[in-house]
């Protein structure tokens, strides 16, 4: 890059000054990850807007890592954000206002410039696709007190969460010793302020057949949630879906993402009528989440193996869990409809192609769908009394 252009990007972009971070610590921002070396002092040329910063400390030899901790923030042009490593708690902390001003002035004098890694602007487009509806308003609405997101402080919550077989296996792994670190602060933490998403339609004074129909097509649920929780603003729902996905290091975030995805994939009537635009946004958001989450490493030497997923564990999306069944239902609703919105149809086809290519699923086979009976988000069917 031309030196003058680079200098201008440094001046206009935000800077994260990260002091005293131990070597081998992994520091991430958005879709980018840095491994801390002896000169690393932070990240420069960060575009203005919402971002997610995350980190995990390493063992002495760099072969084991503590649970990842992350936080959301929104940057302004030319802003300098300063954090310092607390060796006792192994976390980044804020400085006093006086210290922050002093370090910020030093950054603006370029005193740390050769110790700052540049934000990879070529990958900023990927982050924008994942954060289209994420705003400071949504961050403030959802984030917990203190702002930090990590699975290390969720042990009490995990025991209360609805669990499928796959999730139960994961929770057992999370209870291993390496995730118990910092357990002394768990009682002081609480989860994010996610919107409560009902798993089923409950209604009095209607027949069992009608109640079953309402739970097989859950169109009434997002209407209720939008009215009561989002003031009718569809983009707030989309923003919460993106917030939860970005915070996937938290099991609570995964369960919220699963609840939202399950709810929207269970709607048959809404995509056809007044919520068509919302479903275009949803499928587009869902597509980019899966596309980014299942990017492959390129370290495999086998021509038939693209390596492992960079961010997500494929066990979550095996053929015996919720995504396979609900995706088939969605494609039946959208792709087989005699009349359908062009944008919705196009994005549904893109999503179907992605799922088939990523997992090798047959989403056109009409075989009986597999249902995990322990899954809170499985369809609710009211059985009639025998007569």
pLDDT number for residue 349 = 94
SS3 348: helix
Q: Average pLDDT for residues 171-188, to the nearest whole number?
A: 47
Please give the pLDDT value at position 139. 94
- On the question of pLDDT at 249 being above 80, the answer is no
Least confident window among 43-57, 247-261, 276-290, 343-357: 247-261
Mean pLDDT calculated for residue range 298-316: 47
H or E element in which residue 344 lies: helix 342-359
CATH 2.60.34.20 domain extents, the chain: 3-131
Element (H, E) at 43: strand 42-46
Average pLDDT of the residues in 4-16:
87
CA 293 to chain centroid, in Å, comes to 9
Does residue 158 register a pLDDT over 80?
A: no
SS (H, E, C) 274-322: CCHHHHHHHHHHHHHHHHHHCCECCCCCCCCCCCCECCCCHHHHCCCCH
pLDDT band at 360 (very low <50, low <70, confident <90, very high): confident
Per-residue model confidence (pLDDT) at position 269: 84
Q: How confident is the model at residue 10 (pLDDT cuts 50, 70, 90)?
A: confident
Residue 301 scores a pLDDT above 50: no
- pLDDT, average across residues 63-74: 85
Given strand 69-75, what is the order of strands in its sheet?
Answer: 32-35, 26-29, 49-56, 69-75, 148-149
Q: Are 80 and 103 contacting, i.e. CB atoms less than 8 angstroms apart?
A: yes
Is pLDDT above 70 for 80? yes
For 103-128, what is each residue's pLDDT tens digit? 999 999 999 999 999 999 999 999 99
Give the residue with greater pLDDT, 304 vs 26.
26
Confidence tier at 167 by pLDDT (50, 70, 90) = low
pLDDT surpasses 90 at 32? yes
d(CA 103, CA 132): 32
Between helices 234-246 and 220-229, what is the axis angle to 10°? 90
Question: Does the pLDDT at position 102 exceed 90?
Answer: yes
Instruction: Please give the pLDDT value at position 173.
Output: 54
- Which residues lie across from 230 on neighbouring strands? none
The C-alpha torsion from 378 through 379 and 380 to 382, rounded to 10°, is: -130
Cβ contact 183:189 at 8 Å = no
Statement: residue 331 has pLDDT above 80 = yes
Residue 129 has pLDDT above 80, yes or no: yes
Please work out, in degrees rounded to the nearest 5, the angle formed at the alpha carbon of residue 254 by the alpha carbons of 135 and 378.
120
What is the reported pLDDT for 382? 42
Is residue 76 a contact partner of residue 169, using CB atoms and an 8 Å limit? no
Residue 212 has pLDDT above 60, yes or no: no
Both tokens assigned to 355: 């799922």
1: tokens are 């890059």
Mean pLDDT of 250-255: 84
CA distance 150 to 272: 38
Contact 347, 284 (CB under 8 A): yes
pLDDT tens-digit readout, 258-277:
999 988 998 888 888 889 99
Distance (Å, whole) CA 154 – CA 187? 9
Report the DSSP pairing between strands 116-118 and 91-94: unpaired
In this prediction, residues 42-59 reach a mean pLDDT of 92
Whole-number Å distance between alpha carbons of 199 and 266: 10
Taking 70 as the threshold, does the pLDDT of residue 321 lie above it?
no
Nearest-angstrom CA–CA distance, 183 and 318: 32
Most confidently modeled range among 58-72, 219-233, 344-358: 344-358
Please check the confidence at residue 187 and state whether its pLDDT lies above 50: no
Angular region, 42: left φ>0, alpha ψ -120 to 50, beta rest? left
Helices (H), 230-275: 234-246, 251-265
Going from the C-alpha of 164 to that of each of 6, 55, 91, 361, 370, the distances in angstroms are: 50, 29, 32, 21, 13
Q: What is the pLDDT of residue 84?
A: 96
Provide mean pLDDT across the span 164-186: 51
Q: Note if the pTM is more than 0.85.
A: no
Bridge-based pairing state of the strands 26-29 and 49-56? antiparallel
Q: Which of 105-109, 228-232, 277-281 has the lowest mean pLDDT?
A: 228-232
pLDDT for residue 203 = 59
User: Per this entry, what is the length of the chain?
Assistant: 387
**Residue 208 pLDDT:** 61
More confident of the two residues 120 and 366? 120
120: its two tokens: 């990879």
pLDDT higher than 70, residue 154: no
pLDDT surpasses 80 at 91: yes
pLDDT score recorded for residue 83: 96
Please, where are the H alpha helices in 54-135?
Answer: 97-108, 124-130
CA end-to-end distance (rounded Å), the chain: 79
Query: Which residues, listed in sequence order, are joined to residue 118 by a DSSP beta bridge?
Result: 44
Per CATH, domain 3-131 is 2.60.40.10:
no
Structure tokens at 150: 């990590």
Q: Is the pLDDT of residue 239 over 80?
A: yes
Alpha carbons 304 and 254: distance in angstroms, whole number: 30
Q: Which residues are within 8 A (CB) of 233 and not within 5 positions of it... i.e. 6 or more apart? A: 226
């Amino acid at each position: 890059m031309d030196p003058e252009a680079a200098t201008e990007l440094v001046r206009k972009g935000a800077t994260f000054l990260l002091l005293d971070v131990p070597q081998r610590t992994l520091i991430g921002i958005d879709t980018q990850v840095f491994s801390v070396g002896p000169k690393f002092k932070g990240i420069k040329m960060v575009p203005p807007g919402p971002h997610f910063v995350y980190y995990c400390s390493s063992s002495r030899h760099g072969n084991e890592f503590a649970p990842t901790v992350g936080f959301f923030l929104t940057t302004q042009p030319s802003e300098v954000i300063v954090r310092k490593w607390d060796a006792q708690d192994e976390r980044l902390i804020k400085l006093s206002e006086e210290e922050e001003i002093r370090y910020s002035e030093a950054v603006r004098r370029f005193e740390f410039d050769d110790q700052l890694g540049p934000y990879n602007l070529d990958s900023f487009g990927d982050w924008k696709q994942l954060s289209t509806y994420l705003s400071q308003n949504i961050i403030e609405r959802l984030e917990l007190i203190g702002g930090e997101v990590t699975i290390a402080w969720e042990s009490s919550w995990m025991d209360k969460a609805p669990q499928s077989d796959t999730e139960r296996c994961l929770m057992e792994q999370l209870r291993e010793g390496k995730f118990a670190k910092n357990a002394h602060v768990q009682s002081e933490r609480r989860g994010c302020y996610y919107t409560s998403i009902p798993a089923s339609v409950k209604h009095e004074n209607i027949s069992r057949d009608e109640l079953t129909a309402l739970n097989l097509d859950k169109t009434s649920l997002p209407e209720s949630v939008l009215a009561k929780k989002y003031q009718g603003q569809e983009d707030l729902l989309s923003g919460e879906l993106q917030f939860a996905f970005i915070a996937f290091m938290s099991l609570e975030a995964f369960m919220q993402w699963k609840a939202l995805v399950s709810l929207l994939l269970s709607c048959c009537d809404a995509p056809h009528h007044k919520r068509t635009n919302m479903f275009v946004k949803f499928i587009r958001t869902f597509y980019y989440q899966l596309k980014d989450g299942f990017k492959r490493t390129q370290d495999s030497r086998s021509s038939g193996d693209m390596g492992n997923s960079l961010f997500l564990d494929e066990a979550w999306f095996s053929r015996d869990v919720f995504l396979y069944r609900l995706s088939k239902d969605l494609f039946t609703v959208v792709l087989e409809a005699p009349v359908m919105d062009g944008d919705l149809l196009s994005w549904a086809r893109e999503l179907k192609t992605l799922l088939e290519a990523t997992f090798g699923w047959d989403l056109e086979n009409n075989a009986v769908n597999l249902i995990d009976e322990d899954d809170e988000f499985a369809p609710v069917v009211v059985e009639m009394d025998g007569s």
